[in-house]
Amino acid sequence: MTATIEPEVGKSRLRKEDERLITGRTRWTDNIVLPGMLHLAVLRSPMAHAKIVSLDVSAAKDSPGVVAVYTAKDLDPDGSIGMPCAWPITPDMKAPRRPVLADGQVNFAGEGIAVVVARSAAEAHDALEAIDVEYDELPVVLDMEAALAEGAPLVHEDLGTNKNAFWVFDSGEAGTGGSVEDAISSSEIVVKRRFRQQRLVPAFMEPRACVVDPTGAQLTMWSATQIPHILRVMTALTLGIPEHKLRVIAPDVGGGFGGKIGVLPEEMMTVLIAQKLGKPVKWNESRSETMVTAHHGRDQIQDITISANADGTVTGLKVELLADMGAYNGLVGPGVPILGAFMFNAIYKFPAYHFACTNVFTTTTITDAYRGAGRPEATFGVERIMDELADELGMDPMELREKNWIKHEEFPFTTVAGLTYDSGNYEAATAKAKELFDYDGLRREQAQRRESNDPVQLGIGISTFTEMCGLAPSRVLGSLDYGAGGWEYASMRMLPTGKVEVTSGASAHGQGHETAWSQIVADQLGVPFEDVEILHGDTQSSHKGMDTYGSRSLVVGGVAVIKAAEKVIAKAKPIAAHMLECAEDDLEFAGGKFTVKGTDSSTTLQDVALAVFAAHDLPDGIEPSLDSDATFDPENFSFPHGTHLCAAEVDTETGSIKLRSYVCVDDVGVAVNPLIVEGQVHGGLAQGIAQALFEEAVHDESGTLTTGTFADYLLPSAADLPSFTTARTETPSTTNPLGAKGVGEAGTIASTPAVVNAVIDAVRHFGVNDIEMPLTPMRVWHAVQHGTTDAGGAGSEAGGGLGSIDTSGGAQ
């Protein structure tokens, strides 16, 4: 019955989660073994686009250990089941049905065609060999621009087009700013570039898996998912299962990065088969399956035009995107570019803005959310174009940023995209980053190396960024046609012994919720950190929620925990007053104790909990319970920001890149647990740097993913990455009572442009102004040899004054 005095929030607490994770006592979905459990294996199409002429599963049915083999017609005879898309971004968005198994036609290499159920996973996989499929090949559609051309082969013939949707925001029309066309025609300089966001694989370490047990009162589904609550709702709606007969559990989940947001055909088939057979069934994918069938991320072509005055004041920004959806709509895939629409103006006071996005179907794996979802793409675009503009103006790129960014005293600030940034201090973060980085010293060294024609050139890359976190305001999400709300839920139970059980609707997959939430609860209730247990990821204990993505857990879910705690205290107060024989108004609560003001008469919250349990002497009309539940739906997003600086050494003779130093100062508002914040930043940096330098999902001309294993897809190892210097400034968010802003995606968002800007900066004097990601030694060497502008050469944009520059295209 001790009360903590020193605040827990702000402490670098070691994680509660780690004990089980370091000792191998973790509960992964693939660890779940149930009596009589059967195993699934899915036959996947080697073709990217083909009619299925015939499909003979009879030999597979006779294979050893096989219990059943199903095709689309067996699992869904009516052809009525389609994977859901929760984000129909326009009323006329095309929504082709994505069946559980390919129904007469395959539309990407890896699409499931048949599923074998056997006594062991090995027997199920063996039997796949015995399935005979005859295909009639259709032309593949792999390039977004070709897909939109007149007469292009169609991914879905019945749609009559490969265009999924067209979405536009214009500041002139929205009344948030001026007309971009006016800005472009009247500005002194106009720069236009085309950037490509290559396709990436989220590459969480734990492959996806699903176990379904139909033998209980409820159908229980374990899944390696980020979204157990959404999955429950969507499974109920998709398969017509009464929601109250369905329990979804996300046990320990081995990473997600957005890649485990989805309602999977495999999850639906596991449910359907478990129901048909009346037995527990497990689907567990191999890494090779993950690579082709778990959704990919990014994959955009960005045509960006920026206009400015000769002094560097930006007058307008025009963004035209092509975004590859793959063969079908993902759960939130069509909305991913739109999240970016609000971030292209970044930290800047651009007076005019136009954003237009065309989503395109191709015969490839679907794309959907991947760490940052839309915001890394936008930040890359704007931070690259700012460097290009600085170069054309002959300005230091930092000076250009400082000239255009929102000043500390101007917050709250409503941007040209219509968002109101609550707080920020770009000056403070930048000053700290420059000092840690030795910005001026490195600039001097860069000049010396250029002068001496050093074969190893030095480049400095800047990325100043903000992002919108805390994906709630349900009303805002609704205005963007997102299908669900963004609130988050928590409940709290004071146990008779004074311990506290808390449930959260935000279900973690490595972020450390159990630790951070415990810190919050300890402060709110004044109970020891160790006395708090956080339960999540099970729709039975945490019966509602919106799950974890978009750096929303802490700033929405963490605040819901605060709201639940406030209710516990409010319920305890009249009981405490009764126990202390005083009026409620005479009581104050602090450090876990109710004290009669001005006296030393007090009782602890735990004492009240025990009194409630006994219920021998409660005030009249008071129910014997301190339990509470609460939701939080903030009125605005939160806006973390930061300044990232990268120094890259580029060997001009080999094209190889060495990251010499990487400094970032992130402002995540109040850091509940600085240790976790730092870890999140490190991991984010690794992913963003990997996009810049290493990773790319590549399809060959037949539509086969040639980077379909970890042997071909270059996930960086420890030896491929440098050490990072991280620091923080702290400008509390004003949109939530924690003052927290979110951190999960910051490192990924900021680091990709920092690294690319550094490399371009190192070799710009060779005439290079773009190199396509990933910056492989071959691409860098080629750019140094030829200069990028040689290969550009599209027409120029109208503009007056200093002239206009157009290097769309790029060398690679």
Partner 1 sequence: MRITVTVDGTKYTDEVEPRTLLVHYLRERVGKVGTVVGCDTSNCGACTVHLDGHSVKSCSVLAVQADGSEVTTVEGLARDGQLHPVQKAFRDNHALQCGFCTPGMIMASIDLLADNPDPDEKAVREGLEGNLCRCTGYQNIVRAVRDAAHHMSPGAGPEAEQIKHVGVGGE
Contact positions vs partner 1 (CB under 8 A):
14-15, 17-26, 28, 30-31, 122, 203-207, 252-255, 257, 286-288, 509-512, 675-676, 678-680, 682-687, 709-711, 715, 717-719, 721, 723-724, 747
96 preceded by a cis bond (ω within 30 of 0): no
Six-digit token string for 709: 């294993």
Pick the closer one to partner 1 by CB: 70 or 437: 437
**Sequence-ordered strand ranges (E) for 2-107:** 38-44, 50-56, 66-71, 105-106
Pick the closer one to partner 1 by CB: 351 or 744: 744
Pick the closer one to partner 1 by CB: 261 or 763: 261
Pick the closer one to partner 1 by CB: 288 or 541: 288
CB of 676 to partner 1, least distance (A): 7
For residues 392 and 805, is the Cβ–Cβ distance under 8 A? Answer: yes
Pick the closer one to partner 1 by CB: 253 or 783: 253
Instruction: Name the residue among 509, 470, 25 with its Cα closest to residue 228.
Output: 509
CB of 579 to partner 1, least distance (A): 40
Pick the closer one to partner 1 by CB: 5 or 33: 33
CB of 711 to partner 1, least distance (A): 5
CB of 509 to partner 1, least distance (A): 6
CB of 548 to partner 1, least distance (A): 12
Pick the closer one to partner 1 by CB: 226 or 807: 226
Instruction: Report the half-sphere exposure of 481 (CA within 13 A, side-chain side).
Output: 15
Pick the closer one to partner 1 by CB: 120 or 625: 120
727 Cβ neighbours under 8 A, 6+ residues apart? 432, 433, 436, 663, 664, 665, 666
Largest CA distance in the chain: 88
Pick the closer one to partner 1 by CB: 494 or 645: 645
Residue 654, burial from CB neighbour count under 10 angstroms (0-12, 13-18, 19+):
middle
Instruction: With H, G, I as helix, E, B as strand and everything else as coil, classify residue 727.
Output: strand
Pick the closer one to partner 1 by CB: 217 or 719: 719
Measured CA distances, 721 to 658, 683, 773 (Å) = 9, 11, 17
CB of 351 to partner 1, least distance (A): 38
For residues 116 and 41, is the Cβ–Cβ distance under 8 A? Answer: yes
Tell me 480's DSSP state.
T
Which residue reads 């990473």 in tokens? 255
Q: Report d(CA 13, CA 5) in Å as an integer.
A: 15
CB of 230 to partner 1, least distance (A): 20
CB of 203 to partner 1, least distance (A): 6
Pick the closer one to partner 1 by CB: 122 or 447: 122
For residues 564 and 517, is the Cβ–Cβ distance under 8 A? Answer: no
Instruction: Name the residue among 787, 782, 792, 789 with its Cα closest to residue 766.
Output: 787
Q: What are the two backbone dihedrals, phi and then psi, of residue 61, each rounded to the nearest 5 degrees?
A: -65, -25
CB of 103 to partner 1, least distance (A): 28
CB of 261 to partner 1, least distance (A): 15
CB of 776 to partner 1, least distance (A): 19
Q: Report d(CA 379, CA 748) in Å as an integer.
A: 10
Give the strand pairing for 189-200 and 803-806. Answer: parallel
Q: Report d(CA 364, CA 218) in Å as an integer.
A: 36
